[in-house]
Amino acid sequence: MKATALARTLAALLTGILCLAGCVSSGPAPIGAGGNGAQPAATGPGGASYVPAQPYDVTPLLHPKAKYFGATFDGVPKDLSPVARYASQVGRTPTMLEYYLGWGDELQTDQTEAVWENGQLPYIAWEPHKATLAQIADGSQDAYIVSTARTLRALNVPVAMSLAHEMNGAWYPWGTKGATAAQFVKAWRHVHDVFQDEGVSTVIWVWSPNIINPVPQVALKPYYPGDGYVDWIGVVGYYARTGAQDFQTLFGPTFRQIRTFTQRPFLLAETGAQPNPRKSAQITELLKTVATRSDVVGFIWFDLNKETDWRVDSSPETLAAFRTAARNHRYDLDFAALK
């Protein structure tokens, strides 16, 4: 098994060996790269430039004391103006930004770097609409996977990444109607292994199932690639007008099932609430629960008017509830302090 944590440790050790052997002051090439030994200057949140001595170490980002205050918006990452508007609305700047990468599409490094410079950890939901999980697993997509891995290695900023999210549902082509659990696991491990072979140590791997409430017949354990391939459990769950109306009813059954086979931290990788009489209370409870649970690293609010109005400002009352809940000091995440 090619364990994620072990890979990062080996990358750091190899970097140290290279430096002892006589690396230039600007630092060695990224692990697995064949350049001239120097890395380009990189940037941190806020745009401060520096010359990295080694690949960015994501370890401090895996379970910080403060919580990730995440969101996703229409138009990002090409247009980051929604981030500033949202921060003005809710009184807090997001520290994580989710956006989507279609399979076969080139990862835009300038946009990903801009997200990090803007103060957000990029969260990339990689969606294989143009390839089956079987094709990904059998190596026929390796040219694209390798290209993406090398792009991220050269970029040298941290990213969280999910692959084929909500795989336990039937609404995506990579879901239960189009692939088996075994095919999903094989594809996931293959992508992870290619990234590791290419020396990529800057990715936080997020295994992202949907909550089990609408698909109770689909067991999650067969879809789990293993702790050596996963850093976070990115659960997707939304409050609808009917069904689960509080945090424990919405997320509890899924959390309990997952805890039978892994202790990896949870992230609410997508969440939101339809307009309903309880939306303000749901917002208040969700933000408070995430802030107080030690096994949840944060949440990402789906702030779009898509099929229904999931946005925090769907009414003045819900926006006021969100602003109040967002003041919780547990969301005071400072990337600079994690270095």
Residues recognised as catalytic: 166, 270
Residue pair 223/180 in contact (Cβ under 8 Å)? The answer is no
SS3 108: coil
DSSP state of 327: T
Please give the Cα distance from 172 to 126 (Å, whole number). Answer: 13
Residue 99 parent element (H or E): strand 96-102
- Return the residue matching tokens 């997320």: 251
Sign of CA dihedral 111, 116, 118, 121: positive
Strand 296-302, strand 305-306: pairing? unpaired
Residue 306: in which H helix or E strand, if any?
Answer: strand 305-306
**Closest by CA position to 43, among listed 31, 56, 33, 60:** 56
